[in-house]
Chain A
Amino acid sequence: MAEFEPKIMAFLCNWCSYAGADLAGVSRIQYPPNTRVIRVPCSGRVDPMFILKCLQDGYDGVLVSGCHPGDCHYISGNYVARRKFAVLKVLLEFMGLEPDRVQFSWVSAGEGEKFSQVISRVTETVRKLGPARKLVKTGYRE
């Protein structure tokens, strides 16, 4: 059997992390090809429902990345997001739902190197956990 390759959804904020990913690309920094990117206007745009939906639809992990605190294009979007994600993470842990599949990071537009490190770390963490099974809907099971 081929080695398990995790499928990871990354929600990147338009103003920082998406530009950080772009910088990693133009700088030709290598990182694992396991992520699919959705560009969002702000990490505050990411509803916990999006994250759960990814886990239901066969993604093994989800990364949400936004601007560093204080750098939000919309002033406070990432502060509000931080509270939302803190609560989500604790609830996943409480329910025994592998909270490590869901990760958050702050990556600025200048941090191409950090972006590649974040993607590597998330990919390795999720690879160790193995394929997601708990929330996956029947139609998306292998």
Chain B
Amino acid sequence: MNNGDQIKEAKVNEIVDSIKKIFVDEKLDVLIGYEKGSLPLRGTPCFVESADDLDRVIFDFTCHNNIAKYLADEKKRPGDPRKVGIIAKGCDARAIAQLIVEDQYPREKVVIIGVPCTGVIDPAKLRVALSGKDLADYKIEGDNIILIGDDFKIELPRIELLQGGCLSCKYPNAPQYDYFIGEPAKPIAARDEFAIIEDLASKPADERWAYFENEYSACTRCYACRNACPLCYCEECFVDRSMPAWLGKGNELSDNIVYHIVRVLHLAGRCVDCGACAAACPLGIDVRIIGKRIEKEVLDRFGYVAGLDFETQPALAAFREDDKEEFIM
């Protein structure tokens, strides 16, 4: 990567001007986007209900949340569905498409506003980089980012603060959109998409099990991964059920692991690998890798990639008569 095309994020005023026009033309009831957060390097979701209020909208690499989540929430509002505009990175747009396929929101009530994404920040990596110190400001210089605090200055490549999924993201731009602001971004392609699972898969079974035992033993089942996921929209999650109680309330490793397995199985063939679950985890647990393994299987076995259009049914809601069945006795 060179300096010139590294950060080709749409200019702030370009975004605001375009969105103002879209807001009025499309008669939006609400725009879901991002604004500057209260901390440096943390863009935060915002909801704008009037065109005059749009000046606070931003988009850059600090806007890491997957705001398709709020489209699923929008459905739960009483009354007719509002007309919603959403600023969408590639992964947001795929999650929106998936929600529309699953009849969670009417297509004609969503205006997808694509923006080019050059990767978003990983709060966990930022925490590690700062090692407990308070960030006051930051500066971008070429490929590097300088973290500035009261008594320190840390310079490191910007790419080291990006989410794992962004490094191998194939869809930095919305595959489906109504408007697109700015020049489409090129994928970072710093890594092969499935490299992380191949590394682990090459180890013996006991080592793999030890890895997952170790990872999930830290889990407190706060369900932040579930709550951050744009595609976890069930009214009542299996973990909250008491009749039958699928999972115990105690801090048992077995329950932690079963929770994570079932969570990714519920997302099998639907997950768009936005990494919102991993970014939300307060303990930095690798909650994404098993979903990635399923994503690979769904691609290899069923030839399906989630969230690329508004029609194709998710892989596990469909079938082919000649699906492979080598595992059946």
Q: Which residues of A contact B (CB under 8 A)?
A: 48-49, 52-53, 56, 69-70, 76, 79-80, 82-91, 93-98, 103-106, 118, 121-122, 134-138
Contacts and interface: CB of A to CB of B under 8 A. Distances in A.
A105 B319 contact: no
A95 B323 contact: no
B209 A97 contact: yes
B165 to A, nearest CB: 18
A94 B197 contact: yes
B109 interface: no
Contacts of B197: 94
Chain B, interface residues (CB within 8 Å), range? 35 or more
A90 B319 contact: no
A83 to B, nearest CB: 5
Interface stretch (B8-16, B21-29, B111-119, B294-302): B294-302
Q: What's the dominant secondary structure at chain B's contact region?
A: helix
A91 B293 contact: yes
A79 B321 contact: yes
Interface of B: 197, 200-201, 204-212, 238, 246, 248, 252, 254-255, 257-258, 261-262, 264-265, 268-269, 290, 293-294, 297-298, 301-302, 315-321, 323-325, 327-329
20 contacts: A48-B261, A49-B246, A53-B258, A80-B316, A80-B317, A82-B325, A85-B328, A86-B301, A87-B269, A91-B293, A91-B297, A94-B201, A95-B261, A96-B212, A97-B209, A104-B329, A105-B328, A105-B329, A122-B329, A135-B257
Contacts of B320: 79
B262 A52 contact: yes
A83 B208 contact: no
A72 B207 CA distance: 40
Contacts, number: 111
A106 B329 CA distance: 7
Given A89-B327, A90-B294, A103-B329, A53 B246 contact: yes
Given A79-B321, A82-B323, A96 B208 contact: yes
Contacts of A52: 258, 261-262
Nearest to A56: B254
Nearest to B291: A91
Nearest to B322: A69
B44 to A, nearest CB: 34
Nearest to A114: B329
Contact of A76 (B206, B211, B255, B319): B319
Contact of A87 (B211, B238, B255, B297): B297
Contacts of A136: 254
A69 B321 contact: yes
Contacts of A95: 208-209, 212, 257, 261, 290
A138 B172 CA distance: 45
B297 A83 contact: no
A47 to B, nearest CB: 9
